[in-house]
Chain A
Amino acid sequence: MATNDTLAKGFRPTYSLRLERRLTTPKWLPVATSVGAVVVALIVGALLIYLGGGHPLAAYQHILEAAFGSVGVFNDTLVKATPLILVGLACALAFRMRLWNIGAEGQFFMGAWGASAVVLLPLLPATTPKPLMLLAMALAGFLCGALWGFIPGYLKAKLNVNEVVTTLMMNYIATSWVLFWVFGAWSEGGFQMSRMFPRTAWMPRLLDYAKSIPAFGGLTLHGGILLGLIAATIVWFIVSRSKWGYEIRLIGDNPRAAHYAGINIVRNTVLVMMLSGGLAGLAGMSEISGVVHRLQGAISPGYGFTGIIVAWLAKLNPFAVVLVSVLFGGLILAGREIQPSGIPRMLQGIILFCVIASDVLLRYRVRLVRS
């Protein structure tokens, strides 16, 4: 930040960048910096693609077409976005209270396991009516995810155990727990996957209605997206309009002031972690009931971690989470088109970095100073 010595540079005037603290933040600024951050990330990504010998513009055009180019691919984008919405909401809610829940991935797996248990243990017979079956699966998924949120939440609240470490570690337990079941008791003929769920455990999809509405033919978008939209509305109501949300925001902003205001921080920490875990668990349920239709080891390409980026890019706004999820859904889908791994993952990472870095612009104003 310091200016260079003018004498050393002769008579040329030197310029320097200066950061000045902002006193107020205009409402449009967070949106502008988020969009700007994505643009910068795409430019950096383009540079890397170019250095790797690719054609950045062609690559991006391909991504765009592969994700949003037709009804069919847009359907697939939304299918990818569905778990991201729920997981993104899970992270956004916890981050509001400055609880760094890095464990959405594990909570997702536990939710998937809980929903599967209803079918595979089985808790309910295959002949159970569909609405009841789905309700039971959603409940089981939510509760298992909530349990995975409760443990680190309780440890954090009572013993001040760092939730970053516990939630991260519990991811490994959750994935191994699922593997234990799909390799063992639920394995179908020795393969590392369970048997296919009965039709009563399938989330309704658009193509199910193709008989009456032919345009829906082949579209795999399932009821999970409705779950996501409802959840976004509920999370919005909780955070922005409810008494409980006020407590969450107060604790997030200043826990000592919250204590002073008579708010029970221990109880709220546990509850928020449980709701956060429950939402991620619901994402797991929605994914296996709507897409995979069986439990297996590979049900997530890191949805739980992408949810962190989604929440951050959305600046923790529940409705923005929905939009950003669609963007990332497209990125995941189209990424596979151009490269199985690598570029798309890399872009996600670069976007997160840019978004976090852009936060500086919310708090400071950059000025060019001539000296």
Chain B
Amino acid sequence: MPQIVNAVEMRGIVKRFPGVLANDHVDFDLCQGEVHALLGENGAGKSTLMNVLAGLYKPEEGAISVEGKRVSFNSPRDAIAAGLGMVHQHFMLVPSQTVTENIILGLEAPRFVLNMAELDKKILALQEQYGLRVDPKAKIWQLSVGEQQRVEILKMLYRGARVLILDEPTAVLTPQEIKEFIATLKGMVASGHSIVFISHKLDEVLAIANRVTVLRHGRATASGVSTAGTTKRKLAELMVGRDVIFFLEKPPATPGPVVLDLQDLKAENDRGLQALKGVSLQVRAGEILGIAGVAGNGQSELAQVITGMRKALSGHVRVNGEDVVNRSPRVAINRQVAHVPEDRNGVGSAPSLSLAENLIMKSYRKAPVGSRLALNRSVIRKQAEELKTAFDIAAPNIDVQARLLSGGNLQKAILAREMSAEPKIIVAVQPTRGLDVGAIEAVQRVLLDERARGTAILLFSEELEEVMALSDRIAVIYEGQIMGEVKPEETTLEQIGLMMAGQRLENIRGETDGHE
């Protein structure tokens, strides 16, 4: 395809938020028919830049042209009309409606009469064209996350988008789904679409994109560099601003006695479906047991049952021999079970309370923080200042509202709170999800320090590399059951991938034995 006119040209884009310069004279070009990655840490301004392109924000300065024509968008509607469609990280779908209903939502036609059969057919045809298969009659809540993403993409294609902006599309997918997804992207590019791919994962960017633009603190540190001529290390340096070491120092484990003993746990999820179908695991003092698995296979429910936040149907949770199943979160806290929850904003923090107040969520009941009736304000302030320094929480002061902290700093605050209780057991669920490279390093270091201190750690993670790097043992969960338990030095990513897809370890081993 002749690349005479660029699909998108952004020149000198400046976007300010109160106190923050989110985009500082950023240039961005998207050629026809390419995949262009936008790389950067959280808060680097990637999403802001693309929200400007998608018509959600209006830039203070700068010019945008689409296919050679100057444009000025006042709303996402204008951007869609110009052929730009954005798929956000958090899907904007109506759970109780069908795929087709979601796709036509907000469109002018059809006006009154909904010929559903006709529309279903139209959408099926579109699916055929791009290989994005999903039942048009299915309700959104029945779909997996990967399928929901396909619906979002179909929504944009149905509106005639020629440029697709995908905000961290692979964050929610399994390794297998990512493969399919990449194939779909290639298909769309082949049929003339151009794609912007926002990510902070270096490997993916190198695998998928033709060119890459790197943002750091709102500025482009690399503009439209060809991925063929760069390396992971170089990109990481452009992104973080310093040399990054992809290596964690992990001394050998010295496991002690079993501290956490789970026996045949069964529990339901919020929808009343059985999420745990008999989980038994043991964690020893001073070791990390990694739980690998695709999101939604019972990880959240398991963590909640252990920490007393969800009732189990049956089974036992023994903490140092004492059965605490179906007691309460308070009992777990008193037994020094720390919990780094999956949902930092929704569960792990109170957005309108201050950083200092968030740091005492687990300790306010007892001296020295709480006396009989009142809270000891000087102790609270002193401890908060200490934790802020010790855990390197970047916040203007300890009175700042938690909702104003970035994801990485909020996670550091949660870790600071949980670790300051000197836990015997840590249940950490996706502790590094969505964090930038620097924050990930800090979180992983804290977990390894705790391991050295003799804490038993249960680590839930979807990042296979992370599970492999941190764990002393790995258990794989699939549909509420443990598929098998392996040691990281004795396994392969393929083996774990197969277990994540629902094959039992015995069967995998049996097959390979049969071949030999």
Contact = CB atoms under 8 A, between A and B. Distances in A.
Nearest to A241: B374
Interface string B44-69: 00000000000000100000000000
Interface of A: 2-3, 20-24, 237, 241-244, 246, 249-250, 253-254, 256-264, 365, 369
Contacts of A262: 308, 328-333, 362
B364 interface: yes
Interface centre among A22, A243, A258, A264 (most CB of B within 10 A): A243
B353 A253 contact: yes
Nearest to B330: A262
A24 B307 CA distance: 34
B347 A260 contact: yes
B74 interface: yes
Interface in B330-362: 330-333, 339, 341, 343, 346-353, 357, 360-362
B374 A242 contact: yes
Contacts of B332: 262
25 contacts: A2-B74, A3-B74, A20-B18, A23-B18, A23-B20, A24-B400, A242-B374, A243-B364, A244-B373, A246-B375, A250-B353, A250-B361, A253-B350, A253-B352, A254-B347, A257-B346, A260-B329, A260-B339, A260-B341, A260-B348, A260-B361, A262-B330, A262-B332, A264-B330, A369-B58
Contacts of A246: 357, 360, 364, 375
B17 A23 contact: yes
A249 B353 contact: yes
Nearest to B341: A260
Given A23-B404, A365-B18, A257 B374 contact: no
B110 interface: no
A260 B342 CA distance: 12
A47 to B, nearest CB: 33
Interface residues of B, number: 41
Nearest to A365: B18
B424 to A, nearest CB: 16
A254 B353 CA distance: 9
B212 to A, nearest CB: 30
A3 B58 CA distance: 11
B365 interface: yes
B69 to A, nearest CB: 16
Interface centre among A20, A23, A244, A258 (most CB of B within 10 A): A23
A241 B20 CA distance: 34
Interface string B299-329: 0000000011100000000000000000011
Contacts of A258: 350
Contacts of A21: 17-18
A62 B308 CA distance: 62
A237 B404 CA distance: 27
Nearest to B334: A262
A351 B147 CA distance: 50
B416 to A, nearest CB: 15
A257 B350 contact: yes
Contacts of A249: 350, 353, 357
B365 A243 contact: yes
Contacts of A365: 18
B330 A256 contact: no
Nearest to B349: A257
Contacts of B341: 260
B19 interface: yes
A267 to B, nearest CB: 12
B19 A23 contact: yes
B12 interface: no
Contacts of B375: 241-243, 246
Nearest to A16: B74
Contact of A256 (B75, B333, B347): B347
A259 B374 CA distance: 21
Contacts of A260: 307, 309, 329, 339, 341, 347-348, 361
A294 to B, nearest CB: 39
Given A23-B19, A246-B364, A365-B18, A254 B330 contact: no
Contacts of B400: 24
B365 A259 contact: no
B370 interface: yes
B17 A250 contact: no
A281 to B, nearest CB: 23
Contacts of A243: 364-365, 370, 373-375
- Report the 3 A-B pairs with minimum CB-CB distance, sorted nearest first: A262-B330, A262-B329, A261-B361
A250 B74 CA distance: 39
A258 B360 CA distance: 12
A3 B73 CA distance: 10
A21 B307 CA distance: 36
Contacts of A237: 374
B18 A257 contact: no
Nearest to B77: A2
Contacts of B362: 261-262
A253 B329 contact: no
B361 to A, nearest CB: 4
A242 B375 CA distance: 5
A360 B251 CA distance: 54
Interface in B1-60: 17-20, 58
A261 to B, nearest CB: 4
Interface centre among A20, A243, A244, A260 (most CB of B within 10 A): A260
A23 B22 CA distance: 14
A1 to B, nearest CB: 9
B141 to A, nearest CB: 20
A263 B350 CA distance: 13
Contacts of B308: 262
A254 B351 contact: yes
Interface in B398-436: 400-401, 404
Contact of A259 (B75, B329, B360, B377): B329
Nearest to A5: B74
Given A2-B75, A22-B18, A253-B352, A261 B373 contact: no
A243 B331 CA distance: 18
Interface centre among A24, A246, A369 (most CB of B within 10 A): A246
A173 B418 CA distance: 48
Contacts of A253: 350-353
Nearest to A254: B350
Interface centre among B339, B347, B400 (most CB of A within 10 A): B347
Nearest to B361: A261
Interface centre among A21, A242, A253, A257 (most CB of B within 10 A): A257
A253 B347 CA distance: 11
